[in-house]
Structure 1
Amino acid sequence: MKPAAVLFDMDGTLVDSERVWGLALAELAVHAGGVLSDRARLAMVGTSMGTSMQLFRDDLGLPDRPEEPDVRWLTERVRALFAEGLVWRPGAMELLAAVRAAGIPTALVTSTGRSLVEVALKTLGPANFDVVVCGDEVQRPKPDPEPYVTAAALLGVPITACVAVEDSPSGVASAVAAGARVLAVPAELELAPVDGVHLRTTLTGVDPVFLATLLTV
């Protein structure tokens, strides 16, 4: 028995890009004349661009600050940092390679927009994913189940036979609500135990055989 598909989150799960986002957001805060708090930055992890920008404005006390110029600035800055190359999370490259070698369909399911994902895929390898679902390609991003439901539908597999690999509360909530079994490996945020979610500290040592066991518990 093996998963019908493995659905991978990107930021903080496959690559250590949350640190990149943190750097760019801190620079944007300085550009806006303020300092972004750690509390606000952590609250942004795993959320959509719209939610992050709302948290950004609230934290800086600038509720009327126009969103579009900040999104444009932030996107360009993150694109430049992504282009320098992204660092894989421990065990992530090996797990992705093993899943592909086992012939299991894969999807990349991320809250990040398509233009930045295309840059990240230069590190991740576009051939490693049968489908890619980006945050700006769904009506309701994580924590709504739509991204994971969409990925399973595009792959033509039942979501209940899929394993999602996540790192954030928002992503875990999305995958659980969609009906997938979830392997959660926290990066920036701690994760509380949730039914249907298997917690690990690292992806090191995880393989397709282990993922298959999650479908039976």
Structure 2
Amino acid sequence: MLKGLVFDVDGVLMDSMPYHADAWVKAFGEVGIHITNMDIYEIEGSNHKGVVDIIFHKAGMEPSSSDYEAFLKKKREYFLQNNRAEPFKDMPTCLQALKGKYKLAVASGADRTIVNSLMDKFYPGIFEVIVSGEDVTRGKPDPEPYLTAAGKLGLKPAACMVIENAPLGIQSAKKAGIYCVAVPTYLPEEKLIDADMVFTNHAELITYLYRLL
């Protein structure tokens, strides 16, 4: 029986990934690593350590232990300076309705400061559990983020559903043994084929969520 819903944040609840990507592009550019927003969309869901590892390795470089904290601070600064993220249309109202029937959580790869600021501003009082990229040792595609969210809700993975929009997040959910639905936001639908169900857009996703009531 479905008892809990666990949402990714960026690209599912918030139209925010362009601002995350812009911040990463600027931060990496300062050390001579030139990437595009699409490079970040492809690895969306990974926490900051995972992003640094992936981008450094693609550039044939090895990050030092101090790089992780330095890039986290730079990326957070640039995101907060330029953030104009908004919730997807009708999503806050939908979540408010779901709150009465299901336990709700978010599991994001973004850092705690950013996740909390977005949830406090646009989804106040909605979520029982918030898992950020800093709350886990291994980010998506490892199952730890979604297992952590389910555990903090007091639920078994089989009693939960994950709502995602990115390949690494879908892999994380499936490895955790959780049913996963997905919506293409910044990547084409064919990138999300590992999900149990893929919607065409957010309007279809929201219609589906209301049916759960």
Normalising by the residue count of structure 2, what TM-score does the alignment of the two structures yield? 0.84
| Residue from 142, 163, 166 that aligns with 1:165 | 163
When structure 1 is superposed on structure 2, of 109-118 and 21-30 the one drifting more is 21-30
Change in CA separation of 1:168 and 1:192 when aligned onto 2, cut-off 3 Å: closer
When structure 1 is superposed on structure 2, of 33-42 and 124-133 the one drifting more is 33-42
Give the 3-state SS of the residue equivalent to 2:14 in structure 1: coil
The residue that corresponds to 1:182 in the other structure is 180
Q: Shift of the alpha carbon at 1:141? A: 1.6
How many pairs were matched up?
207
CA deviations 1:13-37 (Å, max 9, x no partner) are: 1101111111112222443345313
TM alignment of 1:67-146, pairs within 5 A: 67=67, 68-82=69-83, 85-100=84-99, 102-146=100-144
Distance 2:62 2:55 in 1: 9
Q: Shift of the alpha carbon at 1:91? A: 4.2
Q: Is the 8 A contact 1:79 1:119 kept in 2?
A: no
Distance 1:54 1:97 in 2: 37
Q: Tell me, which stretches of 5 or more residues in structure 2 are unaligned? A: none
Q: Shift of the alpha carbon at 1:60? A: 5.0
Q: Is the 8 A contact 1:47 1:170 kept in 2?
A: yes
Question: What value does the CA root-mean-square deviation take over the aligned residues?
Answer: 2.4
Q: Is the 8 A contact 1:95 1:207 kept in 2?
A: no
Q: Shift of the alpha carbon at 1:59? A: 4.8
Letter in 1 for 2:70: P
Identity rate, percent: 25
Segments ≥4 residues shifted beyond 6 Å: none
Distance 1:153 1:122 in 2: 22
Q: Shift of the alpha carbon at 1:153? A: 1.4
When structure 1 is superposed on structure 2, of 201-210 and 182-191 the one drifting more is 201-210
Change in CA separation of 1:63 and 1:170 when aligned onto 2, cut-off 3 Å: same
When structure 1 is superposed on structure 2, of 38-47 and 61-70 the one drifting more is 61-70
The residue that corresponds to 1:215 in the other structure is none
CA deviations 1:56-87 (Å, max 9, x no partner) are: 334556546761323221122223334xx521
Give the 3-state SS of the residue equivalent to 2:163 in structure 1: strand
Distance 1:153 1:161 in 2: 11
Alignment of 1:22 onto 2:21:
yes
Distance 2:62 2:153 in 1: 41
Normalising by the residue count of structure 1, what TM-score does the alignment of the two structures yield? 0.83
Change in CA separation of 1:30 and 1:209 when aligned onto 2, cut-off 3 Å: closer
Letter in 1 for 2:54: L
Q: Tell me, which stretches of 5 or more residues in structure 1 are unaligned? A: 213-217
Q: Shift of the alpha carbon at 1:128? A: 0.7
